[in-house]
Each structure stands twice: as structure tokens, then as C-alpha cells.
Homo-oligomer: A and B are copies of this chain.
Amino acid sequence: MYAVILAGGVGTRLWPRSRESTPKQFTDITGSGRTMIQATVARLKGLVSPKDTYVITGRRYAGLCSMQVDGLPEANVLVEPKGRNTAPAIALACAHLRRRDPEEVVAVLPADHLIQDSAGFQRALRQAERCAREGFLVVLGIEPTKAHTGYGYIQRKDGPLPLAGDLPSFSVSRFLEKPDQVTAEQFLADGRYYWNGGIFVSRVERLLGEYERQMPDLYDGMNRIADALGTGEQENVLAEVWPTMPDISIDYGLMEDAKKVAVVPMQVGWNDLGSWDALESVVAQDAAGNYPVEGEILPMNSRGNIVAADKRLVALIDVDDLIVIDAGDALLIGKKESIQQVKQVVAELQAADRNELL
């Protein structure tokens, strides 16, 4: 099985740790000792070897990918000429993989998600691989733990597919955009809805077929790129074709109307770490009721605070539900419920050309 890891994002919602120079996926957000992309690769151990692993990223992050991922061949770092959505990025990977073995299965994974139960994830991925070998386009479905309105959902059909393996898989009825609260609660109660975490598994040629059918222009572009690979024209063709590719997600551009789509449900402590308050679900609460991500907390009458401060003591006096993120040249202190305003902080820094802090 191949793996294609999507590592082109910037992740401004995790400022000040996620920076333009080192986005989220190249940092150790949870204090685990590994960057997120390193954890993503480690999670595939035994299923996909580094030489079969590809990373898609922007030009300025190619070096970080090589440096952080042990054993990754330099040729497996695929550089997007310009940041684009997932449909063209995955097409670029497919252009490379079809030259190796289009019959083989590829797993597409974001570089910046957290999965706490690696063994459970591997079981689900194995099951997805099995489905894919049977010709399905497979998505891993994350069992929802609350009525979240920030994710897309996947609705499955009733009965499991008649496939071998120790986990059930289901045909997908449809992909759904982010729901409102009421709808999200219905989804949660129903039991046949999963969060779409953007992890897809398929034979390479199945994906190619869907591109050809649903996004013929993008497919043509990909063919031009594939034909130029390894020739002196490779960079020129890429630079020429890339801007013509539609800036569309694979969910929207390909999965929603794909045929024979299956979902393998999993309950593996998945978290997309979409904003700092997500750490509350990831980091164990200490005896005093705070969440020490990094560093040490000394609390006085203080509860519910999420604190990441490398190698230092943070004394808290009479404060609740704060998020404290130390990043050396910048320190973020915010009320948990308002932490989405980090985006405005970043916007203000951008407007003021404070590039050193972005």
C-alpha cells in the first residue's frame, strides 16, 4: 500500500505555535515529542514503508518534510508549485503512483490530525485496504462523540458490506456539508453518520477513473504532468499546468458523486486539532482540573486552563478556562470560549506586516 500525506496547510488557528515558517504539521502541538507529520508516518508503521510514502507540500516546506520524516526518499516529497486544494494535490500524487503501480492501493491522509489509538487506526486502515482491493473507494468514518457543527459528515447505508475482515464496512449514502446544531444532533442520535476526517483509501486506478469521469480537465492536466515526470520538461509542465487546475477539495470534486464508495467506521481518539480548545479532549486533566500540555502548572484557585509553555512553570492565580500558549517570541492568553479570535490576531499581524510573528 502507498501512502500520500497531505502536508501543504498553514494552520493559522494554532498561532503562535503554528507559523508560516513551520505550520502545525511540522510542530509538536501536544507535547508528544513528535511533530504531527512524524506521528502521522509513525502511525503507518508496518503497513506502509517510507519508500512507499509520499508527501505533498509547498516548496518552502519540502526541506522540513525530508528532515522530519526518517527514511523518506527525497523524490517522494512532491512539491505543489502553489498551494491548492486537495483534488489537484492528490491528482499530483496519482500522476507519480500510476507510473509505479496503478493496481496498488493508496491511502490519503492529512499530516496534521491526531489519532490516539494507533492500533485501532491500523485495524481500520487494514479493513479499508481490503475494501479498496475489492474495488471500493473507501473513506474512514470517525464515530462522532458529540454533535459537532464544524465537520462534514458521511451517512452510511444500513447493513454492512459482505466483505472479509474483522471490522464492518458500509456503503456510503452521501457526503454532507457541515450541519447546523439541530441537524448535528440528529446525526449523532441516528448512529449512521460519521465525521469525515479526510482519510481516503482506494486503488490508484480507481481514483484515476473518478478523476477522468468527474473532473476531465484536471485529469488531462494530470496526464500531462505524468508524461513529463522524469524528463527535462517536468518542472516547466508542472508550472504551466498547475495554475489551470481547479481549486477544489476531493470531497466536493470527487467523493460526493463517486460510485461504489464505502466507509469503515473507527473510534480511535481522532482529533483534527482545529483550534487550541481541542487540546481539552486530548490532554489529561490534572488533579487540580487544569490541562498541562507542556511545562508545569502551579494553580491557585484556578481550573479548566489549558497551558502549553515549554520548560517553564506557569503560576495561575484565580483564573479559569484560559488558554495559555507560549511560543518564545509570542505568548497567547485567551478565554477558551473566544479562542477562535486567534484568526483576528493573525489577521492583525498580517495587516501590520509583522512577518516575524506570522
Chain A positions near chain B (C-beta within 8 angstroms): 16, 298, 300-301, 309, 311-319, 322, 324, 326, 328-335, 337-339, 341-342, 344-345, 348-349, 354, 357
Contact = CB atoms under 8 A, between A and B. Distances in A.
A315 B298 contact: no
Contact of A342 (B309, B317, B334, B342): B317
A275 to B, nearest CB: 11
A345 B301 contact: no
Contact of A344 (B300, B319, B348): B300
Contacts of A317: 332-335, 338-339, 341-342, 345
Contacts of A311: 329
Contacts of A298: 345, 348-349
Contact of A313 (B322, B331, B339): B331
Contacts of A334: 300, 315-319
B331 A319 contact: no
B342 A330 contact: no
22 contacts: A16-B315, A298-B349, A300-B344, A301-B338, A309-B331, A311-B329, A312-B330, A313-B330, A313-B331, A313-B357, A314-B333, A315-B332, A315-B334, A315-B342, A317-B339, A317-B342, A317-B345, A318-B334, A318-B335, A318-B338, A322-B333, A333-B333
A224 to B, nearest CB: 45
Nearest to A323: B317
Nearest to A331: B314
Contacts of A348: 298
B312 A331 contact: yes
Nearest to A333: B316
Contact of A301 (B314, B319, B341, B357): B341
